[in-house]
Amino acid sequence: MRYPGFSGLAGMFLFSGLVTLYGEELFFRGWLLQSFQKRLGKSWAVALQAGLFVLPNLLVTIALPPLQAVLFRIQEDRV
């Protein structure tokens, strides 16, 4: 569902900027980094959490465009 105009744009920025990004930062740079630092030391903890941070983002970058193309094609066929 799309919301046109300023309210839709404001809602997108609110969700993207606060909910998604804050949640990622809290998990990866908060909880996960602190857990790794206790076990591995600072340098290894930073490297490992950064590598784990890249994986979901890389997966979305690779998988999402073909999936969107299929979904948009299905939607066009129904109209």
- Per the model's pLDDT, the better-predicted residue between 70 and 44 turns out to be 44
Residue 3 clears pLDDT 80, i.e. is over it:
no
Q: How many domains does the chain have?
A: 1
Listed residue (51, 12, 49) closest to 34, CA to CA:
49
pTM value is 0.56
The radius of gyration of the chain from alpha carbons, rounded to an integer in Å, stands at 18
Q: What is the pLDDT of residue 1?
A: 58
Domain carrying residue 51: 5-78
Find how far residue 6's CA is from the centre of its chain: 23
Statement: residue 48 has pLDDT above 70: yes
